[in-house]
Amino acid sequence: MEVSSNLNFYLLFTMLLLASGVAIVTKWIRLPYSIALVIVGLLIGIFHFLPVVTMTPELILLIFLPALLFEASWNLHIDWLKTCLRPVALLATVGVFVSAVCVAFIVSALTGLDFKIALLFGSMISATDPISVLALFKRLKVNRRLHTILEGESLLNDGTAVALFRVLLAAVLLGGDLSWSKIGLDFVILTCGGTIVGAIVGLVASKLTQYFDDHLLETTLTVLVAYGSYLLGEQLHVSSVISVLVAGCIMGNFGSRKSMSATTRLSVDSFWEYAAFIAESLVFLLIGMQIKFPLLVKYAPVIGAGIVATLIARVLVVYLLIFIAREKKHPIPLSWQHLLFWGGLRGSLCMAMALSLPATFPHREMLVVTTFGVALFTLLVPGLTMEPLVKVLKVASSRVSKNTELQIELTKLKDEKRNLAKAARAAGQGKKEYRRKEEEIDQRISETEQLIEILDSSVGDSDETERLQIETALLRAQKDCLIALSKKTNSKPEVLGEFRERIDSRFLQLRAKQHEKELLAKDE
């Protein structure tokens, strides 16, 4: 047991080390981090650099998925979701059913597979995995509304796909003809039950945060909400995925804003950002390590049929449903629809559903391998070509101008100089050391001002977006200085805490202003 535990620890350590190395490398090469992890995982699987790691459904569904779903739903703005509710709702509900049926007909026709089993495969492969989509599009500067449609669909359709899969699996195991009325009733019970459970957990947790102000305790509470809502959904036999999504959305949009202090909200944001990074890293690495090439070759014709069926179904879902959901005031351009089609990546969730099939299930090996093959195709082919497609279609948001970068740097330097004297006195440094550091800062300020002058720009000419970015950078510099002072002086914690709360509160105000500006800009 001790040897096994040590082996598992070193294996986890090695995987985190690999993930960190890949993250560093992808900072320098033009390759999405998630795709790079899959490729590294493939190489590990081919050459057996590490012991075999089995990706069980429990590992994905119970450990990784609640964290990823909660982090995404915590950051999902209701205001933004309202601006594209019709397309998101259609894609995440009707789209899953249309996709599952379309895939079932095509796969059944091309391979001769029984329609009921093909329909079950269609439900598995209809889940556009939030891990895959969100990890990729966070790195691509797409239009904010388009990003919300992709994000909203990928989150909500996971709950729909898992619920449909569970209902169909139960129907297939019972045998006989499919009862569509029973399937529909069971589906409604699963989804509505998950929504109610998630709402209750989210509201209760939001209310609890009103009675104390402790960022560590409140962060722990969000962890309990993420995993507790999932486990409660499983125990009550309702959709645990939808339960987590609803609980996270309520806490992120209402509980955090009404009950949490600014410092607590920033702490919770940072914690879940890190948790999602670790979970995404391990999941993508595991996906690559699970691929077995001999089995891919054996079932290549079926995988090919699955890929063709998945792409055709995605075309039908995106272009037809977007046409139905069209709005005169906020139309969805054809270029956006192309990205919605090509961005329907599959990943760990559909793999977890395939692995959860009973050992004696008919054609289990073929279904599992085909699901893995289709997911691998979508991760590598659309995943690697998505960034060039965004550039060709010209839907990328404009990046921060060089002038803005220089203005931010200048503001930080001036703030650093203003706080240097205070920090020097607190640390007991001599005048000589202080002057040397001041000269270094003055030199950097002078160089930055010269560059700004060359660009014929000034802080006063910056637009509102640039001003917000500059003020945000200033607040970060002030907070860094405050942290340094707290380490070097004997100031009372409550005094420093008060200053920190002011900075954090202003930081959140700026974030809200940027959010409002994006909402106003959506009509342009």
For the stretch 393-438, pLDDT in tens is: 877 654 444 555 566 677 777 767 776 666 666 555 556 667 777 7
Are the C-beta atoms of 370 and 408 separated by less than 8 Å? no
For 498-515, b/e burial (b = at least 16 CB within 10 A) is eebeebbebbbebbebee
Domains of the chain: 2-393 (1.20.1530.20), 402-521 (no CATH)
Tell me how far apart the alpha carbons of residues 247 and 194 are, in angstroms, rounded to a whole number.
10
For 194-223, b/e burial (b = at least 16 CB within 10 A) is bbbbbbbbbbebbebbeeeeebeebbebbb
Tell me how far apart the alpha carbons of residues 315 and 366 are, in angstroms, rounded to a whole number.
25
Amino acid making up residue 151: E
Strands (E), 226-272: none
- Residue 296, CA distances (Å) to 14, 308, 398, 440 in order: 27, 16, 41, 60
Residue recorded with tokens 């090509």: 342
Q: Cβ of 524: how many Cβ atoms within 10 Å?
A: 4
Residues ≥6 apart with Cβ < 8 Å to 370: 121, 299, 302, 303, 306
Count Cα atoms within 13 angstroms, Cβ side, for 314. 23
Of 18-22, 159-163, 459-463, the range with the lowest mean pLDDT is: 459-463
At 396, give phi and psi (nearest 5°): -75, 140
Are the C-beta atoms of 173 and 259 separated by less than 8 Å? no
Residue 511 or 1, more confident: 511
**Residue-level pLDDT at 219:** 93
At 478, give phi and psi (nearest 5°): -65, -40
Count Cα atoms within 13 angstroms, Cβ side, for 63. 13
Output the 3-class SS for 406-449: HHHHHHHHHHHHHHHHHHHHHHCCCHHHHHHHHHHHHHHHHHHH
**Residue-level pLDDT at 76:** 85
Share of the chain above pLDDT 70, in %: 76
Tell me how far apart the alpha carbons of residues 222 and 206 are, in angstroms, rounded to a whole number.
9
Are the C-beta atoms of 22 and 37 separated by less than 8 Å? yes
Check pLDDT > 70 for residue 494.
Answer: no
User: Which candidate, 354, 345, 282, 355, places its Cα nearest to that of 314?
Assistant: 345
488-515 average pLDDT score: 58
At 208, give phi and psi (nearest 5°): -60, -35
Of 48-57, 127-136, 212-221, 258-267, the range with the lowest mean pLDDT is: 127-136
Q: Which residues pair with 396 in a beta bridge?
A: 142
49-72 average pLDDT score: 84
Tell me how far apart the alpha carbons of residues 369 and 350 are, in angstroms, rounded to a whole number.
11
Residue 521 or 67, more confident: 67
